[in-house]
Chains A and B, each alone.
Chain A
Amino acid sequence: MKAELLLGDEAVALAALHAGLTAAYSYPGTPASEILEYLIKLKEEHKHLKASWSVNEKVAYEEALGVSFAGKRAFVSMKHVGLNVAADPFMNSAITGTNGGLVLAVADDPSMHSSQNEQDSRYYAQFAQIFCFEPSNHQEAYDMTRRAFDLSEETGLPVMIRLVTRLSHSRSMVQPREARGENGLTYGASSDWTLLPVNARRRFKILLEKQPGLIRLAEESEFNRLELNDKDRSLGVIAPGIAYNYVMENLTSKGKAPSLLKIGAYPIPETLCRRLVNHVDTVLVVEEGYPFIEKTLRGLFGIPGKAVRGKLSGDLPLSGELSPEVVRPALGLPGLPRRELSGFQLVARPPQLCQGCPHADALIALNKALEGSPGANVFSDIGCYTLGAYPPYKAVQTCVCMGASVSMAKGGAEAGVSPSVAVIGDSTFGHSGLTPLLDAAAANTNMTVVILDNATVAMTGGQPSYASGERLLRLIEGAGVPREHIRVIEPLPKNLEKNVKVIKEELAHEGISVIVAVRECVVEARKKKRRD
């Protein structure tokens, strides 16, 4: 097979296809979106493959679990915070176990390039007590994903691939291997898959009994490699995932190589760690994300006679992503000479709403309608419209997690916030906004929900949105919002006055109301025009 130049995300996707994949599911989210994007592209040539966007990550995970139950190979991908949404089926799928291979790719976002936090998904793998791979480069991303499907079937458990932004969104060459065929249809045993307490207790015991085997698999994995330097026992380095690259980048030209444990497979390989620790005086743990290995190694009281260095010791920063220059001083190397930008004040260039964006018109109208309401609060959500927090709009006051605008507006209203407003996009509403609206409609809470229906998932590149158009209106009505308080506006500069009036009327209404601002995303409209 021909080598290809691929994003890390794409390498994982291609490997999943080649592993005999039947179906893949995901919800868009940076930096994981390109995984399913690529599988959808691959569908054109691989007609058997099912790959589609789900309404949210929980649904995606459950759909994949249903495929696995039926004996076929399933793949699900998401960004790190997406796994919070999918945590329920994720945790329980380790108890049911799997039938066909089930692989979950999670892309963490250290430095929060496009996220609300930089949580480290390795904790989730440990929490669920499953195997986890952490690739350092594109070829490993491919090879580990191929291996992950086999391993899932060998252990009867889901397997996680942990990615980070810099691998997900970096390109390099990948050498693919011969593709494998699909599995046949075989059903899982119902007593394993029905987690009534009697079954769950039995299944949890089985999960616990599998743990020593998982550690052994990690110890023997080709992706965990220990190299001991017998001449110099001063320093040993543990470097998982892409942190390994930053260590090697600094060491290659400098001659002196410390003992090095490269980790690519978890649970943490205990014996390999012990051998390294016994061999050296100081252990430096360089890892992308939280000090997961460092904390485990150090425990509460440290290792007698040994120094453990890393993020907890202050040798490396606890927040933000690593880079070659961040790792350099921890290895005891001097900084590289470089050009300095002295005497010039750089200004930031934050992302912003596009020229002609319908969100801008909707937010301007909302701002105007709220003039003279000092007690108002606009709870918002995850999407392009979150950029409405920046000037000149300064139109939204919260952004917490998918769907939180609607639930928080209800809480706010009940605490006395008035007017209490939620601003949410159509896809985010479908993801997690519908259920809290059901709550608010049932309670007839005094709040106004503004749904910005631009008919796409815009921020992540224009994936399909399901809660849009007519279906969206029927969903709102079905949730129990009175028909006369579901108002549709078209956010355009020429409609400003009319729209302000509608919004004002609904803000004044004592009870639940929903305003749907309908206008297509300008970027998607342009794309469509180019295609036609």
Chain B
Amino acid sequence: MKQDIILAGVGGQGILSIAFVIDSAALKTGFHVKQAEVHGMSQRGGAVQSHLRLSDGRIFSDLIPRGEADMILSVEPLETLRYLDYLRPEGIVVSSSTPFINIPDYPDIDAVLGKIREVPGHIIIDSEKLAREAGSARTQNMVMLGAASRHLMVKKDDLVGFIGVLFETKGSSTVAANIKAFELGRGAAGPHA
């Protein structure tokens, strides 16, 4: 059993926080984990991604081979498309619909979303709206984690538990907002999606 996930977004959107929560839940279950991250220059508002690999057996490569990813989990729609060729033909996409526009030539957002909708089994979530509903626009990453949670090979309770661990030092209201964001994302993705 294995799950290869490309996490995508823009530097500063908190994809490493998503990675931490999934990693921790996977390790608790007893899975092997490898997680390749981006540090340095790209963190300054550039495109960032993380290759997250979970398996009950040994994992060799830190990078997911193109064509092996089971899921693209993305906090930004244009960034979803950037890694589409990592996806296995039957892989799924869980993507935010909220564009992060910090470049002058950002393409037409409807065209971007249209392209994502071509992937069967896509889940597109208005992460900004739900994050605001949860109490902070900064919780979009947890909205997206929630939206993907039914498709992850880790337990929901563990994910929620490690969201608590991650934001513990920032106070109980931050923890609550992030857990609420997770639940809203999970709900929006639908029980059967």
- A residues sitting closer than 8 Å to B (CB atoms) are 5, 7, 30-31, 33-34, 113-114, 166-167, 169-173, 242, 244-246, 248-250, 252, 323-325, 328, 335-341, 344-354, 384, 387, 391, 459-461
| Contact yes or no, B85 A338, CB < 8 A | yes
Closest to B64 in A: A324
Distance from A456 Cβ to chain B, minimum over Cβ atoms (Å): 14
Q: Say how far A374's CB is from chain B's closest CB, in angstroms.
A: 26
Could you pull out 25 A-B pairs where Cβ atoms are within 8 angstroms? A30-B41, A33-B39, A33-B40, A114-B42, A170-B37, A171-B34, A248-B61, A249-B60, A324-B68, A337-B88, A338-B67, A338-B86, A338-B89, A339-B91, A341-B81, A341-B85, A346-B78, A347-B78, A349-B46, A349-B102, A351-B11, A351-B41, A352-B45, A352-B46, A354-B45
A216 to B63, CA, bound (A): 34
Establish whether residues B40 and A460, one from each chain, have CB atoms under 8 Å apart when the complex forms. yes
Specify which chain B residues have a CB less than 8 angstroms from the CB of A323 in the assembled complex: 61, 63, 65-66
A352–B43 alpha-carbon span in the complex (Å): 9
A339 touches B84 (CB 8 A): yes
Scan B65-101; emit 1 where CB is below 8 A from any A CB, else 0: 1111000000000110110111111010000000000
Interface string of B18-53 (1 = CB under 8 A from A): 000001100100001111111111111111000000
Contact stretch, chosen from B104-112, B124-132, B136-144, B147-155: B104-112
> Given A5-B23, A249-B65, are A34 and B46 also a contact pair (CB < 8 Å)?
no
| B43 A324 Cβ-Cβ under 8 A | no
Q: Is the interface of A mostly helix, strand, loop or mixed?
A: loop
Q: Which of B10, B39, B82, B84 counts the most A-chain CB atoms under 10 A from its CB?
A: B39
Expressed in whole angstroms, the Cα–Cα distance for A384 and B34 within the complex equals 30
Query: Given A114-B40, A351-B42, are A325 and B65 neighbors across the interface (CB < 8 Å)?
Result: yes
Question: CB-nearest residue of chain B relative to A247?
Answer: B60
Give complex CA distance A56, B66 in Å: 39
User: With A30-B41, A249-B60, A344-B81 in contact, is A335–B67 under 8 Å at CB?
Assistant: yes
B51's closest neighbor in chain A, by CB? A170
A348-B106 Cα distance, complex, nearest whole Å: 9
Interface bin, chain B: 35 or more
A246 to B59 alpha-carbon distance, docked (Å):
11
Q: Which residues of B contact A173 (CB under 8 A)?
A: 27, 32-33
Interchain CA distance A171-B46 in the complex, whole Å: 21
Nearest neighbor of B59 in chain A, beta-carbon distance: A172
With A171-B35, A173-B27, A249-B60 as contacts: A351 and B45 at CB distance below 8 Å: yes
Report the minimal beta-carbon distance from B14 to chain A, rounded to whole angstroms: 15
Shortest CB-to-CB span from A67 to chain B, Å, is: 28
Given contacts A169-B36, A339-B85, A387-B44, 18 further A-B contacts (CB under 8 A): A31-B40, A34-B39, A172-B33, A172-B34, A173-B27, A245-B61, A248-B60, A337-B67, A338-B85, A339-B89, A339-B91, A339-B119, A346-B82, A349-B45, A351-B42, A351-B43, A459-B40, A460-B40
Q: How far is the CB of A264 from chain B (nearest CB, A)?
A: 14
How many angstroms from the CA of A387 to the CA of B44 in the assembled complex? Answer: 10
